[in-house]
Structure 1
Amino acid sequence: MNMFKSALCGASIIALTAIGAQAATLTVTDISGAWSNVVGGQQVNINNGATSTVRWGTPTNAQSGYDFTPEGTPLDAAQDVDFTLGTFTHHNFPITAGTGISSASLDVTFKFYLGSDSSTIYTRTSQFVFNHWETGNSDNPCADGGTEGSGVNINGCADQVTAVTNPNSTDSFEIVDGNITRKYVFAVNGFDIGDEFWTVENQTNQATIKARFTYEENIQPAPIPLPAAAWMLMAGMGGLAMASRRRNRKS
């Protein structure tokens, strides 16, 4: 009996270890971005390809614009560790006054599976909305309150990008696998832009979108069947008890 208990405990430890190993990974299989809802601007061009871009303005040499470049996939992520889904880039080039945009939206869609179950793919989309201030290059003072020709305004007054909608949200997923229910929490932390940033004229500025996941296990073990020998032993003990009661009645 002690040997049976020892073997059972060992099997349980192995099973729990296997469950933990399976649940401790997330694999992102695809990431894409799509620009839309551009407000204002002239000569606006949107290209939602591998790197999604939006360009605007009557250029001096090149148009101003935004890019979204997704991380390469498949992308494996460990629990409770931030990982990057993609990079937002602002290109600030001189354009004719009055031809800049005032806002644009970016939908970031990503697909992933949990643990080793690659047959079940989850899809999530997060929307980011940016307000844009295409400032006059020779304003005095500049839009940020600084002086043209110094600091962030070294090449002319810097342009401002503000994250109006920069979601920091979570989704929960419950996966039932046999007699085990696992709860996963997936969080998109948003672009690390803060409330805003200023981009130097004739330069670019970048921010990355971060996410992370964690999980909880709710283990509901199924009843463990007794070996046939144990059932036979219990039946035998029951028979002995009945025989004992009969003898007691006769006496």
Structure 2
Amino acid sequence: MLIEWAARVGYGARGFVYLSVGALILLAAVDLIGDSVGTKGALEWLAQRPLGRVWAVLIGLGLAAFVMWRLLQSVFDADHEGTSWRGLGTRVSQLFSAFSYGALAVAAFGLLKGPPDDPAAEGVAQSRDYAATVLDLPFGKWLLVAGGLAIFGIGISNIIKAAREDFTEYLACSARLCRRVAPLARLGHVARGAAYLPLAGLVVIAGFHAEASEVTSFGSALNAVERQPAGPWILVLTALGFVAFGLFSFIEARFRRIRPPRKLKPLP
């Protein structure tokens, strides 16, 4: 029961983060706030609001619970994916998801010491520092290119998942409700996947040029999209997709089948 509640809290925390990101991107697209943000930027924005540290703690705890559930899914096969190539691929993806949300949970707790004065600028600076560190390594130029291609792969895999995945497979809801909520998941994954592509392109270009200064943050990459023809409309669609993904995460928090593993079967 404790594991089930932790998993549901985790899905809810993920939903809240993506709803916040979508809302902030939408506000940026209609020029009501300055810049678009990614997940970490949304946490920093929330930390600047009243009771910001309370939000940081609650979201951090929720994301930590989600990381625990992702580890049970990936390492101990809570969803009974098995050890086929498809099952292992799903479990490895869940493991990477655990690392990603773990980093986000750490970032949330890090905001207890106070949010940065300029989150957008700090995000860009951190990304460039990481790129400079990679470029200093042997074959750093090609490692950075590979990193950009990996980001591109994550984006494309989300889009492919939107087309192929049965997102209602793990939901314990009526067939009618499942049919209604499945489009939220598809739209959300397309938006997430497409949002990675501009950043991937910039990282690849930075690698080829061996220039860390050409790397930017997730939010700044979306700002670059906004400056293109029809960019604001693309940003609005991206924002709605993130909101859809957040809403589907709340659906999962309520209706997902949570099956804690009875036997521990780690990845071979």
Could you say which TM-score interval applies, normalised by the shorter chain?
under 0.3
TM-score between the two structures when normalised by the length of structure 2: 0.18
Which structure: larger Rg? Answer: 1
**1 or 2, which has the higher helix percentage?**
2
Of structures 1 and 2, the one with the larger relative CO (CA 8 A, separation 6+) is: 2
Answer 1 or 2: which has greater strand percent: 1
Under a length normalisation based on structure 1, what TM-score does the superposition of the two structures give? 0.19
